[in-house]
């Protein structure tokens, strides 16, 4: 996991002494992963498309066939942020509109270098988050607890509350949503998105519009295709979706793989589904310990008790004591409605909005998104 948190850096520098100095500074730290050092600015775009850096350090005084400003302009078109390297005699000011997110003036220390690059990365992450979208990851430590059904109906409830919503099938190997909503085997998946530069226009070709009004980004149609999806792909996809949608719901898998962790890391809230089943509770506690060791704050995880009226002999107080707190949400069981809706590929919140199970889901969605935001969406 530490590797996926590193900032990926590409350097474009034609002065050997400067390039060597920067290499030496980077060798003494672990936050930044150096991908390559280019001496020819004309190769920057091709390498950026292939290596997909988070940040590119470009010498603004770059000579050769392509000068520094031209390289920065081309990288701006690729939406790759640049830290411009300059000297006091050639002062520059940061200008994100022109692709220059930060300026580093020589001479500089290792602290200066790492700080500037880190500031750019934090700025980009903040921009992605401030755009609006609320990302909710629906997780369960054991299969068979109704997680996918909950994720589908939560997303539809968010759509019905007035939010532009997308549901991602994070079960990349088995595509649970693909079978639940009865989409054709040849329906597009997230693998159909380009991996070098994803744009909003690309989404129209790969999203599946559900009759309920929400969009679905489906998992690959075959098990072996899951290996073609990387953490970097997920990061880029989520970054784009945050700018396009107001609510993103991800149906994750129980296995804490790098892909699953990338969804959980990026989420604003993890809805951890649990049932009155001893094995499920045991696994949930084990995962709670893992979440704490990762560093997730307690407020990031909220527990949802599914089939809350089917306790199986386990008292609600005992469950709360085991979890260390009272679960935030509960959803009653309604076997006939839920099973029939799933068999028909329909969300039960639309099939029977007045049912208690539907009202529980809507109440959960309202709390997750915030009553104020829900009220504002209703007024639009």
Q: What's the pLDDT tens digit per position in 141-200?
A: 999 999 999 999 999 999 999 999 999 999 888 878 888 888 888 888 888 776 555 566
Plot region of 144 (φ>0 → left; ψ -120 to 50 → alpha; else → beta) = left
Euclidean distance between CA atoms 207 and 179, whole angstroms? 16
Q: Are 207 and 198 in contact (CB under 8 A)?
A: no
Among candidates 314, 308, 315, which has minimal Cα distance to 334?
308
Could you tell me which residue, 299 or 4, shows the higher pLDDT? Answer: 299
CATH of domain 2-128: 3.40.50.2300
Burial (CB count <10 Å: 0-12, 13-18, 19+), residue 6: middle
Instruction: Decide if 2-128 and 133-379 have a common fold.
Output: yes
How distant, in Å, are the alpha carbons of 4, 179, 294 from that of 1?
A: 5, 30, 9
Could you tell me which residue, 247 or 95, shows the higher pLDDT? Answer: 247
Euclidean distance between CA atoms 153 and 272, whole angstroms? 15
Residue 85, pLDDT score: 93
Q: Where are the domains of the chain?
A: 2-128, 133-379
Instruction: Give the DSSP H/E element, type plus range, for residue 367.
Output: helix 356-369
Residue 366, pLDDT score: 94
Does 16 have pLDDT greater than 80?
yes
Residue 127, pLDDT score: 53
Residue 196, pLDDT score: 57
CATH 3.50.50.60 fits 133-379, yes or no: no
Residue 332, pLDDT score: 96
pLDDT band per the 50, 70, 90 thresholds, residue 132: low
Residue 4, pLDDT score: 42
Cα angle at 231 between 230 and 236, to 5 degrees?
100
Q: What's the pLDDT tens digit per position in 303-360?
A: 999 999 998 889 999 999 999 999 999 999 998 999 999 999 999 999 999 999 999 9
With a CB cutoff of 8 Å and minimum separation 6, the contacts of 277 are 142, 145, 312
Residue 130, pLDDT score: 41
Q: What's the pLDDT tens digit per position in 237-250?
A: 888 888 889 999 99
Cα 283 to the center of its chain, rounded Å: 24
Max CA separation in the chain (angstroms): 77
């Amino acid at each position: 996991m530490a590797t996926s948190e590193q900032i990926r850096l590409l350097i474009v520098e034609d002065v050997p002494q400067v390039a060597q100095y920067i290499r030496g500074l980077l060798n003494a730290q672990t936050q930044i992963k150096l991908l390559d050092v280019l001496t020819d600015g004309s190769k920057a775009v091709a390498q950026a498309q292939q290596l997909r850096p988070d940040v590119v350090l470009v010498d603004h005084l770059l000579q050769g066939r392509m000068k520094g400003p031209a390289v920065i302009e081309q990288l701006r078109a690729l939406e790759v942020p640049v830290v411009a390297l300059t000297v006091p005699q050639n002062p520059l000011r940061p200008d994100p509109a022109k692709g220059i997110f930060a300026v580093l003036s020589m001479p500089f220390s290792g602290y200066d270098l790492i700080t500037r690059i880190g500031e750019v990365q934090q700025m980009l992450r903040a921009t992605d988050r401030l755009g609006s979208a609320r990302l909710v990851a629906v997780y369960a430590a054991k299969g068979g607890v109704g997680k996918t059904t909950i994720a589908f109906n939560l997303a539809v409830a968010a759509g019905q509350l007035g939010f532009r919503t997308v549901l991602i099938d994070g079960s990349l190997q088995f595509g649970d949503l693909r079978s639940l909503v009865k989409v054709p085997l040849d329906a597009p998946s997230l693998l159909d998105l380009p991996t070098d530069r994803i744009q909003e226009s690309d989404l129209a070709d790969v999203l599946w519009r559900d009759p309920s009004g929400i969009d679905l980004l489906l998992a690959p149609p075959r098990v072996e295709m899951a290996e073609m999806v990387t953490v970097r792909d997920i990061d880029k996809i989520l970054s784009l979706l945050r700018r396009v949608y107001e609510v993103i719901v991800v149906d994750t898998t129980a296995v804490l793989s790098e892909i699953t962790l990338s969804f959980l890391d990026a989420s604003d809230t993890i809805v951890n589904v649990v049932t009155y089943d001893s094995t499920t509770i045991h696994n949930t506690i084990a995962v709670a310990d893992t979440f704490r060791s990762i560093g997730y704050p307690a407020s990031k995880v909220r527990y949802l008790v599914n089939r809350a009226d089917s306790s199986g002999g386990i008292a609600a107080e005992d469950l709360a004591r085991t979890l260390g707190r009272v679960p935030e949400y509960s959803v009653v069981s309604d076997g006939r409605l839920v099973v029939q809706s799933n068999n028909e590929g329909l969300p039960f919140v639309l099939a029977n909005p007045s049912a208690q199970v539907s009202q529980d889901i809507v109440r959960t969605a309202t709390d997750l998104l915030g009553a104020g935001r829900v009220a504002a969406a209703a007024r639009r």
